Amino acid sequence: MKKRLGITMGDPAGIGPEIILKIMDVYLNDVIIYGSFDVLDHYSKEFGYGFLLNQINDPDEASDNRINIIDPNTLKYTDFITGNLSAACGKSAYLYLENAVKDALHQKIRAVVTCPLNKEALHMGGYNYAGHTEILAALTCASGCAMLLWSDRLKTIHVSSHVSLAEAIRRVKKDRIVEVSLMAYDILNKAGYDKPRIAIAGLNPHAGENGLFGDEEIREIIPAVSELKEKGLNVFGPIPPDTVFLKCLKGEYDLVVAMYHDQGHIPLKLLDFDGGVNITCGLPIIRTSVDHGTAFDIAGKNTAKPDSLIKAIEAAEMISRIKDIEHP
């Protein structure tokens, strides 16, 4: 039997259940959902989908022509208020992810595709992580991970993600820049890019202007670029962050290495909010994700678009095919 993809519902009070149902006409026999059976059943009936639901305990029990659901927490639709923070939903979101990762590590599913969770609800539920990436690193015992945002128009990987801006500046270190750049090169190379062109963004205005506006470029970023070039990578930089993304958009580069979360997220979300995909590099499993939040303000209204989830599934399939080639 072909292994299926695992999709985690994320926070049940958000738009995760809705966008999952909206892709089922195409992916019904290709995925297993880790989420609330009762919530999916509620929305399937309310929105008139009419899907058959099948609650299972193991991916091997999946059946065709129905939504196969692994539900580790039996959360009911009446246990929370749609669009509101809930400790129960935060706990459930964690358990969905934990079970999907366990099955991916045991090679029962091909990859994990995640719908959004809410960080505040996650903390309310007793899990003090900054987000998906940090949970995944802990669950898989991965020593180094990086967030790569992928869209048709722009691609960027982050030296740091969910930390304060002050902490992000402290984390701009040569070894970390080299590490994430190598991860990006590997993904691009496997995706068919011949000698991918990687731009290294500066941290400070004008990339520091030779030390006038900060010396991180001189101390950390330029040495990282030199080491990457010595390793044979086609890298450029540091390039001023106010122009590097425009240059990448125009085709001068294939990917930008961003120094912190918002430096990379803002341009990509501005250009392709619905089509962006989050790929976690450095894990022993494949994980992709939608690149948007729980959207509590529209949850339950059946207006959320599934575009990013579709792109995340396509990316997971692409990477899993690469893995199959490497390990036939």
pTM of the model: 0.83
Say whether 298 sits in a helix, a strand or coil.
coil
> In the predicted model, is pLDDT for residue 327 greater than 50?
no
Q: Are residues 182 and 136 in the same domain?
A: no
Domain of 175? 146-274
Say whether 157 sits in a helix, a strand or coil.
strand
Q: Are residues 268 and 167 in the same domain?
A: yes
Q: Are residues 152 and 128 in the same domain?
A: no
pLDDT in tens, 121-148: 999 999 999 888 889 999 999 888 888 9
- The DSSP 8-state label assigned to residue 60 in this structure reads G
Q: Are residues 257 and 313 in the same domain?
A: no
pLDDT at 53: 97
Q: Are residues 96 and 41 in the same domain?
A: yes
CA-closest candidate to residue 234, choices 246, 243, 242, 225:
225
Q: Are residues 17 and 116 in the same domain?
A: yes
Q: Are residues 216 and 308 in the same domain?
A: no
Q: Are residues 133 and 113 in the same domain?
A: yes
Following DSSP, what letter does each residue of 174-213 receive, concatenated? HHHHHHHHHHHHHHHHHTT-SS-EEEEE-SSGGGGTTTTT
CA-closest candidate to residue 162, choices 126, 123, 199:
123
- The DSSP 8-state label assigned to residue 327 in this structure reads -
pLDDT in tens, 170-225: 999 999 999 999 999 988 988 888 899 999 999 999 998 899 899 999 999 999 99
> CATH number, domain at 218?
3.40.718.10
**Residue 156 pLDDT level (bands cut at 50, 70, 90):** very high
Sheet of 5-8: strand order equals: 53-56, 67-70, 31-34, 5-8, 112-114, 287-290, 277-281, 146-150, 155-158, 255-258, 197-201, 234-239
Q: How far is CA 169 from the centre of its chain?
A: 22
Q: Are residues 10 and 111 in the same domain?
A: yes
pLDDT at 325: 43
Q: Are residues 103 and 222 in the same domain?
A: no
Sequence letter at residue 319: I
72 preceded by cis ω (within 30°)?
A: no
Question: At how many degrees (to 10) do helices 307-326 and 174-190 cross?
Answer: 90
How much of the chain exceeds pLDDT 90, in percent? 78
Q: Are residues 118 and 65 in the same domain?
A: yes
Q: How many other CB atoms are there within 10 angstroms of residue 173's CB atom?
A: 17
Of 34-38, 192-196, 277-281, 323-327, highest mean pLDDT: 34-38
Counting the structural domains of the chain, the total is 2
Q: Are residues 266 and 229 in the same domain?
A: yes
